[in-house]
Amino acid sequence: MTHILLVRHGQANSAARDEASYDRLSPLGREQARWLGAHLREGGERFAQAVSGTLNRQVETLEEMGVAEAAPVQDPRLNELEYFTMAQAFEVEHGVPMPIDRPAFLEHLPAMFAAWERGEIEGAPETFAAFEARIADMLAELSQGKSPVVAVTSGGVIGMALRVALRLDIRAFAHLCLSIENTSIHRLQVLPSGLALAQFNACPHLEPRERRTSRTHL
């Protein structure tokens, strides 16, 4: 059966406060990607197509995984939403400060996404509708291409892909994004009636006891 395997990139620079500083894998992020690649190869997974966004952390994750049998492709439609840029605009326009820890982030993201969907963040780099459209277009193209396909991207893109596939509301979309771990895998089956979620936020490569402290969200 045709399927798409979405992979979130490995841990990036979690101490960053802007897009450019965030966009590089940490040493742990590279290790996470290598572990995932080994797990997929040992399980006999073969991919007719391998694609990533153009961001460094996405490209590097796919490279470290080492599962591409053909030359990997880069597609900017898989690039993450510009969280830091939008959060800074949200703070300037609405007085909501950027979060400084995970508990604050859990409150911040749903509120910002709701305002973004309503068109209330004028400084957002792209509209909510434009972001949704580019992810929907990418999913449609991957569904019609060579299968199986592995696509390395980011948490916001994966969350939006699931919103499109499962017709989720904005709060459910935000909650999904908050739960997505680094190098987690998300499997979508391509059915005649549309996309079906077959696996969500799986990290089998991080389940061994000695790796459990290597699971990260940021």
pLDDT tens readout for residues 203-214: 999 999 999 899
Q: Phi first, then psi: what are they for 92, rounded to 5°?
A: -65, -45
Distance CA 164, CA 12 (A): 26
Residue with tokens 């509209």: 127
**How confident is the prediction for the chain on average, in pLDDT?**
94
Helices (H), the chain: 19-22, 27-42, 56-65, 83-94, 102-117, 128-144, 155-166, 170-179
Q: Residue 125 — pLDDT band, cuts 50, 70, 90?
A: very high
| pLDDT attached to residue 16 | 67
User: Would the pLDDT of 106 be above 70?
Assistant: yes
Predicted model pTM? 0.94
User: Mean of the pLDDT values across residues 187-194?
Assistant: 93
pLDDT tens digits, 136-179: 999 999 999 888 999 999 999 999 999 999 999 999 999 999 99
What DSSP character marks residue 2? -
Distance CA 161, CA 6 (A): 9
